[in-house]
C-alpha cells in the first residue's frame, strides 16, 4: 500500500468515527451509493451534432459555445471518449442517447423511419461496458422543425411526421430495455413555441396533447421502457410562449402516469427544481431529473458543486426518493475539454448525493417535528464542515478511479495522445 492510499484510509477511519457518533454508517452508505447510476448524456462529447447531418445548424433554442479541439466526429470516437470519462468516475452508470446518434451505414433514414437496428452498435457496446441506455427523440435541427413547431404543428402532415418519430423512438427504447435488462427512460422534449405573444395559446397545447396521446397509445411494459415528458419556460425563438410548459406537462404526467422530467435550466431564474421534487412525488410514481446549471438562462453549463446541486440531492435523500428518481445530466460546453466536462459534472453529482446521504436526516426531522428549530439550524450548519471529503476520497479509491484532481492528468494525457490527432 502506498503512502497516499494509507493516508486516505486513515482519514476515512477518522471521518467514519465522527459520523458514527450520529448513527451514520459510512460503509453502508457507500454500498448504497455504489448502486446509484447517473445517466451521462452523449451530446456533451460532440456538441449535440449527432451523425445524421441533415442540418448543419442547431435549432430549437439550443446553442453550444466554444470550439475546443478534439471533438468526436464518429460513433467510434464518441464511444471511446465516453469510455475514458467513465473510467474516471466512481460507480457504474448509464448513457443517454438522442435519436440523431443513429448509425445508418451511410443510408439516408428519416427520423420517422428509425428502427432498433440503427442503434445495434450502441447496444452491443453498452453490453460490453455493462451500461444501461436511455433515449430521447430529436425534435430539433431538422427542416420540418425550422418554423419552431413539431408535435403541436398546425400542418397535419408535419405533425404526423413527428408523431411517427415519437412512436419509433419508444420502440427503440423498448429494444434497449429488452437487450440490456434495465428499463430505458425515453424522454420527450419539444421546442415548440412563439417568439412573440400569441393570440391562441390553447390550440397548440390541444394539438400537443392529442399528439402525445397518439404516441403513447401503444402499451409498452415498464420493465423495458419508461416514458417521460419535459417542460421548458422559454427558449431562443420561443421567448414569449412555449407550448410544453411546466403546467401542461405536470398535468399530463399526473393524468397519464408518465415520468415528469424536471430540468434545472428550464424554469424562471428564481425557481429551483429542488423545491418541486417533494411536491411532484405526491402525485407521480417516479420522476426524471436533468441536472444542469443555468447561468442567467438555460445555458447548460457544466454542473458544479453549488447550492442547488446539493439541494437537489438533499431533497432526494431526505424524502427517501432515491429509488423513484432517475438522475440524468444535461449540459454541453465546447469551451473546455469535453471529457473533463463529463468528469467534473458527474463526479460533482455523485459527490453531492454522498454529502446528502451523510446527513443525520432522522434526527433533523425529529428536531423539526418538536419545533426545535434552533437545533435543526445548528446541526445543519455544523454538518457542512464534517469531513465528507475523506469519505469521498475513500470511495474513489475503492472504486479504482483517481482521487481528487489526479483524474485531470489522465484527461490531459488522453488529449495529447488521442484528441490532438483528430482533424
Residues 336 and 394 in one domain: no
Q: Which of 137, 136, 191 lies closest to 329, judged by CA?
A: 136
Confidence category of residue 191, pLDDT binned at 50, 70, 90: very high
Q: Which domain holds residue 85?
A: 38-357
Residues 311 and 400 in one domain: no
Residues 242 and 255 in one domain: yes
Q: What are phi and psi of 417, to 5 degrees?
A: -85, -25
Report whether 159 contacts 214 (CB < 8 A). Answer: no
* 285 is known as an active-site residue: no
DSSP string across 333-376: -SSS-HHHHHHHHHHHHHHHHHHHHTS-HHHHHHHHHHT-HHHH
Residue 365 lies in a domain: no
Tell me, what's the pLDDT at 52? 87
The 8-class DSSP code of residue 302 comes to P
Residue 369 lies in a domain: no
81, 192, 230, 359: the catalytic one is 230
Residue 371 lies in a domain: no
| Integer Cα distance of 135 and 99 in angstroms | 7
* 189 is known as an active-site residue: yes
| Integer Cα distance of 391 and 210 in angstroms | 50
Identify the domain boundary among 357, 376, 397: 357
Q: Name the β-bridge partners of 385.
A: none
Q: Return all residues near 227 (Cβ < 8 A) that are at least 6 apart.
A: 170, 186, 188, 216, 220, 258, 259
Identify the domain boundary among 337, 357, 377: 357
| Integer Cα distance of 43 and 64 in angstroms | 11
Tell me, what's the pLDDT at 56? 61
pLDDT in tens, 8-60: 999 999 999 999 999 999 999 999 999 999 999 999 999 788 898 765 676 75
The 8-class DSSP code of residue 303 comes to P
The 8-class DSSP code of residue 401 comes to S
Report whether 93 contacts 85 (CB < 8 A). Answer: no
Residue 392 lies in a domain: yes
In the chain, the N- to C-terminal Cα span, in Å, equals 42
Residues 105 and 203 in one domain: yes
Residues 4 and 113 in one domain: no
* 326 is known as an active-site residue: no
Q: Name the β-bridge partners of 227.
A: 186
Cell matching residue 409: 492528468
Residue 363 lies in a domain: no
Tell me, what's the pLDDT at 48? 80
43, 122, 189, 407: the catalytic one is 189
93, 266, 276, 326: the catalytic one is 266
Residues 42 and 77 in one domain: yes
* 232 is known as an active-site residue: yes
* 174 is known as an active-site residue: no
> How much is the pTM?
0.95
For every residue of 179-239, which 3-state class applies, written as one string?
Answer: HHCCCEEEEECCCCEECCCCCCCHHHHHHHHHHHHHHCCCCCCCCCEEEEEECCCCECCEC
Residues 169 and 302 in one domain: yes
C-alpha atoms less than 13 angstroms from C-alpha of 41 in its C-beta half-sphere? 29
DSSP string across 87-136: TTSSS--EEEEEGGG---TT----GGG--GGGGHHHHHHHHHHT-EEEEE
**312 C-beta neighbours (distance < 10 Å), count:** 27
Q: What's the rounded mean pLDDT across residues 193-205?
A: 96
* 330 is known as an active-site residue: yes
| From 52-61, 249-258, 334-343, the region with the lowest mean pLDDT | 52-61
Residue 362 lies in a domain: no
Tell me, what's the pLDDT at 50? 85
Tell me, what's the pLDDT at 3? 87
* 77 is known as an active-site residue: no
CATH code at 230?
Answer: 3.20.20.150
The 8-class DSSP code of residue 294 comes to E
CA angle 7, 11, 16 (to 5 degrees): 150
**Helix H or strand E encompassing 329:** strand 325-329
Question: Average per-residue pLDDT in the chain?
Answer: 95
The share of the chain scoring above pLDDT 90, in percent, equals: 89
Strand 193-194, strand 241-242: pairing:
antiparallel
Residues 56 and 189 in one domain: yes
Cell matching residue 236: 431562443
Into how many domains does the chain fold? 2
Tell me, what's the pLDDT at 61? 61
| Integer Cα distance of 369 and 359 in angstroms | 17
Tell me, what's the pLDDT at 285? 97
Residue 367 lies in a domain: no
* 46 is known as an active-site residue: no
Report whether 122 contacts 101 (CB < 8 A). Answer: yes
Residues 142 and 52 in one domain: yes
The 8-class DSSP code of residue 107 comes to -
pLDDT in tens, 55-101: 567 675 667 777 899 999 999 999 999 999 999 999 999 999 999 99
pLDDT in tens, 150-173: 999 999 999 999 999 999 999 999
174, 308, 315, 330: the catalytic one is 330
| Integer Cα distance of 8 and 6 in angstroms | 5
Residues 184 and 253 in one domain: yes
Residues 82 and 119 in one domain: yes
Tell me, what's the pLDDT at 397? 97
pLDDT in tens, 347-394: 999 999 999 999 999 999 999 999 999 999 999 999 999 999 999 999
Residue 379 lies in a domain: no
* 263 is known as an active-site residue: yes
Residues 283 and 408 in one domain: no
Amino acid at each position: 500500500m502506498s503512502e497516499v492510499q494509507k493516508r486516505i484510509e486513515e482519514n476515512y477511519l477518522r471521518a467514519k468515527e465522527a459520523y458514527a457518533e450520529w448513527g451514520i454508517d459510512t460503509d453502508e452508505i457507500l454500498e448504497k451509493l455504489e448502486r446509484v447510476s447517473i445517466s451521462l448524456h452523449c451530446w456533451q462529447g460532440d456538441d449535440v451534432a449527432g451523425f445524421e447531418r441533415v442540418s448543419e445548424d442547431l435549432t430549437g433554442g439550443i446553442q453550444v459555445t466554444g470550439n475546443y479541439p478534439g471533438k468526436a466526429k464518429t460513433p467510434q470516437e464518441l464511444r471511446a471518449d465516453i469510455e475514458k470519462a467513465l473510467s474516471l468516475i466512481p460507480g457504474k452508470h448509464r448513457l443517454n442517447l438522442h435519436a440523431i446518434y443513429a448509425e445508418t451505414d451511410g443510408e439516408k433514414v428519416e427520423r420517422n423511419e428509425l428502427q432498433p437496428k440503427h442503434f445495434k452498435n450502441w447496444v452491443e457496446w453498452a453490453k460490453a461496458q455493462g451500461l444501461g441506455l436511455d433515449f430521447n427523440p430529436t425534435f430539433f435541427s431538422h427542416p420540418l422543425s425550422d418554423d419552431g413547431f413539431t408535435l403541436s404543428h398546425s400542418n397535419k402532415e408535419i405533425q404526423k411526421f413527428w408523431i411517427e418519430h415519437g412512436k419509433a423512438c419508444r420502440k427503440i427504447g423498448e429494444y434497449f430495455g429488452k437487450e440490456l435488462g434495465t428499463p430505458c427512460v425515453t424522454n420527450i422534449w419539444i421546442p415548440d413555441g412563439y417568439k412573440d405573444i400569441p393570440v391562441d395559446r390553447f390550440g397548440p397545447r390541444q394539438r400537443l396533447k392529442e399528439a402525445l396521446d397518439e404516441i403513447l397509445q401503444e402499451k409498452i411494459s415498464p420493465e423495458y421502457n419508461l416514458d417521460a415528458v419535459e417542460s421548458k419556460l422559454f427558449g431562443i425563438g420561443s421567448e414569449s410562449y412555449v407550448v410544453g410548459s411546466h403546467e401542461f406537462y405536470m398535468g399530463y404526467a399526473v393524468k397519464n402516469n408518465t415520468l415528469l422530467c424536471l430540468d434545472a435550466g428550464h424554469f424562471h431564474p428564481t425557481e429551483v427544481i429542488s423545491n418541486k421534487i417533494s411536491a411532484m412525488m405526491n402525485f407521480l410514481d417516479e420522476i426524471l431529473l436533468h441536472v444542469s446549471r443555468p447561468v442567467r438562462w438555460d445555458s447548460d453549463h457544466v454542473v458544479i458543486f453549488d447550492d442547488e446541486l446539493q439541494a437537489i440531492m438533499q431533497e432526494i435523500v431526505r424524502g427517501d426518493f432515491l429509488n423513484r428518481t432517475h438522475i440524468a445530466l444535461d449540459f454541453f460546453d465546447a469551451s473546455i475539454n469535453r471529457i473533463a466536462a463529463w468528469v467534473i459534472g458527474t463526479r460533482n453529482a455523485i459527490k453531492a448525493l454522498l454529502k446528502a446521504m451523510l446527513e443525520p436526516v432522522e434526527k433533523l426531522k425529529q428536531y423539526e417535528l418538536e419545533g426545535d428549530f434552533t437545533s435543526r439550524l445548528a446541526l445543519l450548519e455544523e454538518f457542512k464542515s464534517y469531513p465528507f471529503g475523506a469519505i469521498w476520497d475513500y470511495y474513489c479509491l475503492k472504486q479504482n478511479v483517481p482521487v481528487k484532481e489526479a483524474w485531470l492528468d489522465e484527461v490531459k494525457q488522453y488529449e495529447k495522445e488521442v484528441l490532438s490527432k483528430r482533424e
